């Protein structure tokens, strides 16, 4: 695919994703007013509230307003506090980016190592590799909550080595006390790396099975050269694609982990906003996370275009 086509496709997907996000929060029969008033308000009060929030206008108008607002950098105001959503998000963003960054810094090397292990032993049915495959499968299936609970039980409950909750000091940065980051980052990284490894391991196995790799082995090309010259270039695009997916998943999972550990980040904000039906906040955060995934896909597609076998040279 050419670069313009990649961009066109991604913008289409981004537009669709914004429709999905908006539609999921706005289109369903019970709207934010129902949820906020909990059915206790009279019909007149509800109507007044709807008019105030602009919910009485047609859906497409609201969507258009929302999108044009986003284009201007205005994501609306929080229904709960009345503050601009942009400010609320910007306040929490650094903490979450730090956590997600730390998690990804663990995830990426772990994914690569596990994927290589799984992929390289896929055809061999070796005894050593089978338990690894099982462990990875289990780790990918563990709910983050469970992993968090187990880690807390072991490191905070039994070993008392790390704090069970990660409460950020007011106005402080998580980097002031990196110990706070350890358990949340591990909780995010382990299932994510395992999930990524099952996918990337498949790509590794597929590439290793390609005839030119087997031919290089038959010619006696040293293993390291085979990996660097004949295998890794083919894994660049899938790896980037998988990392984009993992980044999006990690960002979404911060909601669980931050809530669990009491870490004041974007995820906790999102969970709270969902609980209080603060629609504009939910929409903004959801779209931002989707944006991260799409940006990752963009990078992956561009890398794929570079390693495209059809390119003339």
Partner 1 sequence: MLRRPALAVPARRLGGSFRGRPGFLVALAVLGVALFGGWFAPHDPGVSLGIPWEPPGGAAVLGTDDAGRDVLSRVLAGGRDLTLLALVAALAAAVLGTVGGLVAGWAGGRTDRVLTGAADVLLATPFLLLALVLAVSLPADAAVVAATACGGAPLGLRLTRDLTRRARGTGYVEAARGRGETTASLLVREVLPSLAGAAAADLVARFVMALQLTAAFAVFGLGPDTHSPDWGVMLHQNLPGTPLNPAAMAAPATALATLAATAALLAHTLPNTNRPRPPDNDPRHHAPPLTAALPHTRPGAAPGDRTHEQRTASLGTRPDHAHRAPGDRPPRRAALLAAVLPHTRPGAAGPTPRDRAAVFPRTRPGAAGAAPDDRTRRRRAGLLGTRPERTRRAALLAAVLPRTRPGTAGAAPGDRARQRRGALLAAVLRRTRPGTAGAASGDRTRRRRADLLGTRPGRTRRAALLAAVLRGARVGSLGRVRCESGLGGGLVVNGLTVWDGGGRVLVAGVDLCAAPGEVVAVVGASGGGKTTVLRTVLGLLPPNLAVDGTVCWHGAPVPGGRAGRRWRRAHVALVEQDPVATLDPLHTAERAVLDGRRVPVERARSALAALGLPADAGTRRTGRLSGGQAQRVAVARALLDDPDLLVLDEPTTGLDAGALEHVEAAVRSRRGGTGVTLLVSHDRAFVERVADRVVDVGPEPVPRPAPRAATPTGAPVLEVTGLTLARGTATLLDDASFTIARGELVALTGMSGSGKTTLLRALAGLDPPATGRAHLNGRPLPWALRDRARADLHAVQLVAQDPAGALNPAHRIRTTLTRALHAARVADAPKRRPPGRDPAGALKPIRRIPTTLARALRASRAASTRESERQRAGHRVRAVLRPLGAVGGRGRVARVDADVAGLLRRVGLDSGVAGRWPGELSGGQRQRVAVARALAAGPVLLLADEITSALDAASAASVLDLLAELRAAGLAVLLVTHDPAVAATADRVLHLHDQALVPQAPPRTEKSHVRPR
Within residues 242-281, the interface with partner 1 by CB under 8 A covers 242, 245, 248-249, 251-253, 255-256, 259-260, 270-271, 274-275, 277, 279
* Residue 286 in contact with partner 1, rule: CB under 8 A: yes
Could you say which DSSP state residue 298 is in? H
Which position among 181, 264, 266, 293 is part of the footprint of partner 1 (CB under 8 A)? Answer: 293
Report the C-alpha gap between 194 and 246 in whole angstroms. Answer: 10
Distance CA 265, CA 93 (A): 7
Nearer to partner 1, 175 or 228 (CB): 228
- Please state, in angstroms and as integers, the Cα–Cα distance from residue 19 to each residue in 5, 188, 221, following that order: 21, 28, 51
Determine the longest span between alpha carbons in the chain, in angstroms.
Answer: 82
Confirm if 252 and 244 have CB atoms less than 8 A apart.
Answer: no
Which region holds residue 2: left if phi is over 0, alpha if psi is between -120 and 50, else beta? Answer: beta
Only one of the segments 39-47, 100-108, 175-183, 285-293 lies at the binding site for partner 1 (rule: CB under 8 A); that segment is 285-293
- Residue 181 or 269: the one with the smaller Cβ distance to partner 1 is 269
Binding piece for partner 1, criterion CB under 8 A, among 39-47, 82-90, 168-176, 290-298: 290-298
- Residues 20-39 within binding reach of partner 1 (CB under 8 A): 20-21, 24-26, 28-32, 35
Site membership for partner 1, residue 127 (CB under 8 A): no
Left (φ > 0), alpha (ψ -120 to 50) or beta: where does 222 sit? beta
* CB of 43 vs partner 1, minimal distance in Å: 19
**In the complex, minimum distance from the CB of residue 160 to partner 1, in angstroms, rounded to a whole number:** 7
Q: Which of 85, 104, 117, 118 binds partner 1 (CB under 8 A)?
A: 118
**Contact yes or no for 17/294 (Cβ under 8 A):** yes
The answer to whether the Cα torsion of 50, 56, 60, 66 is positive or negative is negative
CB of 274 to partner 1, least distance (A): 5
Please select the residue that binds partner 1; options are 6, 149, 162, 305, rule is CB under 8 A.
Answer: 149
Cβ density class 258-293: b for 16+ within 10 Å, e for less: bbbbebbbbbbbbbebbebbbbbbbbbbbbbbbebb
Q: How far is the CB of 236 from partner 1 (least distance, A)?
A: 10
Distance of closest approach, residue 187 Cβ to partner 1, in angstroms: 12
Of 236, 235, 216, 212, which is closest to residue 224 (Cα–Cα)? 216
Region of 70-78, 106-114, 121-129, 180-188 interacting with partner 1 (CB under 8 A): 121-129
Closer of 20 and 51 to partner 1 (Cβ): 20
Q: Quote the DSSP letter at residue 16.
A: H
- By CB under 8 A, the residues from 218 to 247 that bind partner 1 are 218-223, 225, 229-230, 233-235, 237-238, 241-242, 245
- Which residue, 173 or 222, has its beta carbon nearer to partner 1? 222
Task: Work out whether 109 is an interface residue with partner 1 (CB under 8 A).
Answer: no
Nearest residue to 288 (alpha-carbon basis) of 259, 256, 255, 257: 255
Residue 176: CB minimum distance to partner 1, A: 23
C-alpha distances in angstroms, 134 versus 5, 119, 140? Answer: 40, 14, 10
x/- string (CB under 8 A) for partner 1, residues 50-89? ----------------------------------------
Residue 64, strand partner residues = none
């Amino acid at each position: 695919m050419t670069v313009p086509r990649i961009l066109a496709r991604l913008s289409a997907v981004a537009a669709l994703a914004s429709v999905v996000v908006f539609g999921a929060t706005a289109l369903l029969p019970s709207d934010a007013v129902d949820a906020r008033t909990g059915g206790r308000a009279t019909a007149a009060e509800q109507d007044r509230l709807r008019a105030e929030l602009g919910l009485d206008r047609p859906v497409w108008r609201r969507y258009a307003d929302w999108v044009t607002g986003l284009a201007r950098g205005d994501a609306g105001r929080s229904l709960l506090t009345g503050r601009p959503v942009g400010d609320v998000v910007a306040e929490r963003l650094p903490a979450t980016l730090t956590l997600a960054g730390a998690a990804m810094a663990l995830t990426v090397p772990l994914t690569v190592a596990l994927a290589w292990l799984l992929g390289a032993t896929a055809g061999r049915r070796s005894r050593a590799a089978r338990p690894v495959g099982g462990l990875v499968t289990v780790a990918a299936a563990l709910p983050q909550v469970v992993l968090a609970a187990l880690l807390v039980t072991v490191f905070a409950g039994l070993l008392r080595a790390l704090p069970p909750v990660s409460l950020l000091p007011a106005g402080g940065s998580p980097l002031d006390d990196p110990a706070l980051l350890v358990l949340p980052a591990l909780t995010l990284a382990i299932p994510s790396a395992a999930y990524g490894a099952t996918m990337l391991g498949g790509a590794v196995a597929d590439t290793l099975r390609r005839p030119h790799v087997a031919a290089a082995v038959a010619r006696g090309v040293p293993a390291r050269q085979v990996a660097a010259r004949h295998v890794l270039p083919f894994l660049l695009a899938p790896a980037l694609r998988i990392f984009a997916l993992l980044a999006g998943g990690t960002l979404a999972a911060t909601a669980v982990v931050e809530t669990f550990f009491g870490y004041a980040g974007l995820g906790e904000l999102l969970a709270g906003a969902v609980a209080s039906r603060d629609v504009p906040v939910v929409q903004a955060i959801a779209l931002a996370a989707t944006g991260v995934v799409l940006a990752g896909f963009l990078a992956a597609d561009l890398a794929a275009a570079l390693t495209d076998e059809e390119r003339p040279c």
